[in-house]
């Protein structure tokens, strides 16, 4: 599968089969994140794989949706802002770095026949408490990972180019 096909096929999946994700597939997805670029190659990321049903149940208190905790795997993408690049004007880039890594994983998952869904609407304090994440670490996003139990069309509902593309100036 080429990258453009994966980009078109990726959709937010909110129903998962109970089927386990094979370890090789899971580790290939994680590897796609590890290979991501980051500002000054700082790689300010940590990823937590959650499969244990009891831990998933507790993690679900941060984002109470059955489809979320019922996915066989949840990947929690974290940043260490203290390790990340900061631009001269103070702008911090840790969220960008971790987002790129997670999107690499999400696209790689498509090739493995796996579904994902970006999750940002969680209670960060609960995630950190449940998973024992150190205070200086931030939780950027999570995604369930598993075999989709719903079929979605390829990506369509996006703004037209005329609305978002500018040539030479705004």
Ligand X SMILES: Cc1cc2nc3c(=O)[nH]c(=O)nc-3n(C[C@H](O)[C@H](O)[C@H](O)COP(=O)(O)O)c2cc1C
Give CA angle at 53 (146, 133), nearest 5°: 90
Choose the stretch contacting ligand X; rule: CB under 6 A; options: 46-54, 69-77, 85-93, 116-124: 116-124
- Considering only the C-alpha atoms of the chain, give the largest distance between any 2 of them, rounded to a whole number of Å: 54
67 lies in the site for ligand X, by CB under 6 A: no
Contact status, residue 122 vs residue 62, Cβ threshold 8 Å:
yes
Q: How far is the CB of 98 from ligand X (least distance, A)?
A: 11
Residue 65 CB, nearest approach to ligand X (Å) = 7
Out of 1, 3, 35, 155, point to the residue binding ligand X (CB under 6 A): 155
Q: Does 117 bind ligand X (CB under 6 A)?
A: yes
Q: How far is the CB of 71 from ligand X (least distance, A)?
A: 12
CB 102 to ligand X: min, Å: 9
CB 145 within 8 A of CB 74: yes
Contact (Cβ atoms closer than 8 angstroms) between residue 108 and residue 28: yes
> Contact 146/69 with Cβ under 8 angstroms?
no
Residue span binding ligand X (CB under 6 A) among the ranges 23-31, 46-54, 114-122, 130-138: 114-122
Site string for ligand X, 5-44 (x = CB under 6 A): ------xx--------------------------------
Report d(CA 148, CA 113) in Å as an integer.
8
Task: For residue 22, give the DSSP letter.
Answer: P
| β-bridge mates for residue 143, sequence order | 75
| 120 is a site residue for ligand X (CB under 6 A) | yes
Binding site for ligand X (CB under 6 A): 11-12, 117-121, 155
């Amino acid at each position: 599968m080429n990258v453009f096909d994966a980009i078109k096929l990726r959709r937010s999946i909110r129903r998962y089969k109970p089927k386990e994700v094979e370890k090789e597939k899971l580790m290939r997805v994680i590897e796609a994140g590890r290979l991501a670029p980051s500002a000054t190659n700082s790689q300010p990321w940590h990823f937590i794989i959650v499969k244990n049903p009891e831990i998933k149940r507790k993690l679900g208190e941060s984002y109470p949706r059955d489809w979320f905790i019922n996915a066989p795997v949840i990947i929690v993408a974290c940043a260490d802002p203290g390790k990340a690049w900061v631009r001269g004007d103070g702008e911090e880039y840790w969220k960008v770095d971790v987002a790129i890594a997670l999107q690499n994983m999400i696209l790689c998952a498509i090739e493995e026949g796996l579904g994902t869904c970006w999750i940002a609407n969680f209670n960060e304090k609960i995630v950190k408490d449940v998973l024992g994440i150190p205070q200086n670490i931030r939780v950027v996003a999570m995604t369930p990972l598993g075999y989709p139990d719903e079929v979605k069309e390829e990506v369509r509902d996006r703004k037209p180019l005329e609305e978002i593309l500018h040539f030479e100036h705004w």
